[in-house]
Amino acid sequence: MKKSLLVIAAMLAMTGVQAQSDTLKKIKDSGSATMGVRESSGALSFTLGDGKYAGFHVELCQRALADIQKQLGLAKLDIKYQAVTSQNRIPLVQNGTVDIECGSTTNNAARQKDVSFAVTTYVEEVRIAVKAASGITSIAQLNDRSLATTTGTTSVQLLRKHERAAGVNFKEVFGKDHADSFLLLESGRADAFVMDGQILAGNIAKSKAPADYKIVGEVLAVEPIAIMVRKDDPAFKKAVDDSFKAMMKSGEMAKIYDKWFMQPIPPTNTKVGLPTSEATKAAWANPNDKPAEDYAKK
């Protein structure tokens, strides 16, 4: 009898997992979807205040959810926004708090064990931001300096692995989010901030004195940035992928990119000023969900 009860309990547990992974059913039944968004991830995802969010990846997710609304035949879809951080974004996707994470997450092999990624929508170059008056122009000049980065991100590991960082000793200081990390640079508590180039450019553009900062040094890594969804939910991933692929093919994705990276954006009406990279164009031309390891130089 005990064995039978254990079997029934195990079956119920499995059913619960399957139900949680059926995101399309969850959205159809509830008439709502929850987007995970970032508060200071450059032009990809940022807050406007009062619970409002904007950015390239935010708009892409909004459009994908609009396509899913049509697919499900819903007259109305309520989109909820949940701010996430570098530390909690993966757990919140896994446990169903957010249905789709629309921030600045690098798709890598380790993360693919926990979540799935939509086709790559942005390819990032990891760089270093410094104060223009600092005189720092390369990795070698970071020796005995303080380097800011954001807790839960991969940038410092990439820097440490870079061939030109051999023998360079620096102290790490951590910001809780990208805005906090930039504040460490702005306030002089860090000599440099290492992060995705567009996040650096976005924070510089929104700063009090953009001309006081520069993005310098070698490209530390080229990384695919993608939208996260729950693992083992191929139907939802396909719905998101199909939406993105249609935008890539029609040229709409390029127009949305231009809107957020090459035109003045809220809240300060400043331009990030980052043209589409060749690597991003290649990702749009041949949609794929390959991890960062496939982008590493052989």
Q: Tell whether the model's pLDDT for residue 261 goes beyond 50.
A: yes
**d(C-alpha 168, C-alpha 184), whole Å:** 21
Lowest mean pLDDT among 196-210, 234-248, 256-270: 196-210
For residue 14, the model assigns a pLDDT of 41
For residue 158, the model assigns a pLDDT of 78
In the chain, pLDDT over 70 holds for what percent of residues? Answer: 92
Cα torsion 204, 98, 102, 124 to 10°: value is: 80
| pLDDT tier, 18 (very low <50, low <70, confident <90, very high otherwise) | very low
Residues 124, 223 contacting (CB under 8 angstroms)? yes
- What CATH fold (topology level) applies to the domain 27-123+225-294? D-Maltodextrin-Binding Protein; domain 2 (3.40.190)
Lowest mean pLDDT among 19-23, 47-51, 197-201: 19-23
pTM of the model: 0.78
Q: Tell whether the model's pLDDT for residue 15 goes beyond 70.
A: no
Beta bridge partners of 79: 33
| pLDDT tier, 85 (very low <50, low <70, confident <90, very high otherwise) | very high
| Superfamily holding 124-223 | Periplasmic binding protein-like II (3.40.190.10)
State the span(s) of the chain assigned CATH 3.40.190.10.
Answer: 27-123+225-294, 124-223
